Amino acid sequence: MLTHFVAYIILSSPLQLRESKGLPTIKLRPHCGEAGDIDHLAAAFLLCNNISHGITLRKSPVLQYLYYLAQIGLAMSPLSNNYLFLEIDRNPFPTFFQRGLNVSLSTDDPLQIQYTKEPLVEEYSVAAQVWKLSSCDLCEIARNSVYQSGFSHEAKSHWLGNKYILRGPEGNDIHKTNVPNLRIAFRHETWTEEMQYVYSGNARIPEEIDP
């Protein structure tokens, strides 16, 4: 937990300077919630843009709900987890995805764990087979990964469309993402209702997503 605060303090001043000059900034995306105590997940909630792993959120419904409300990205690696910590049939990825958490699939230790020359495709293929993910599901997960990435605005516009920073179906270009507007609308409306519930109907929903 302390390492998150130290990293945040060290990075905060130079990043503020870079941002003020219009230069690219570094976002804090630590390995977090793979094993051990859940305290560092609480610290990451306060300080981090995204995290890698996050499987121990399954042990804390409160933190899981906060991560959902904040839409903090979780880049999860089920095959790595299966090898090291948690068997794939117990992995919370499909549950997190169904509940609307901002999850994506990623690799971890691919030289040690994966068997093919396309380790990320391997993650998607296994996840699709084990959890019966549809093509719509896979495309939504891939869409999430672009939002979570550190790619430039131009790169994200190329993959997601020019309006990708807008919330809801207005920001979805189905010709780019292959995700139906109905799915995006469902995610957005459900999240908005939860935010209004928490804020007693007074939530201020930004029109744009922080890329």
Rounded-to-integer distance, Cα 203 and Cα 184, Å: 20
Q: Is 111 annotated as a binding residue?
A: yes
Query: Is 196 annotated for ligand binding?
Result: no
Task: Find, among 59, 23, 14, 24, the residue nearest to 41 by Cα.
Answer: 59
112 is in an annotated binding site: yes
Sheet containing 73-76: order of strands? 31-32, 50-53, 73-76, 103-105
53 an active-site residue?
Answer: yes
Of residues 42, 91, 92, the one with CA closest to residue 67: 42
CA angle 185, 191, 196 (to 5 degrees): 120
Diameter of the chain measured on Cα atoms: 50
Residue that the structure tokens 């007693």 belong to: 200
| 206 marked as binding residue | no
Choose the catalytic residue: 40, 53, 153, 158.
53
Q: Is 188 annotated as a binding residue?
A: no
CA angle 11, 211, 100 (to 5 degrees): 110
Phi and psi, residue 52, nearest 5°: -100, 135
> Which residue positions form the known binding site for substrate?
34, 109-112
Annotated binding site for Zn(2+): 31, 108
Q: Would you please indicate which residues are annotated as catalytic (active-site) residues?
A: 53
Binding-site residue numbers are: 31, 34, 108-112
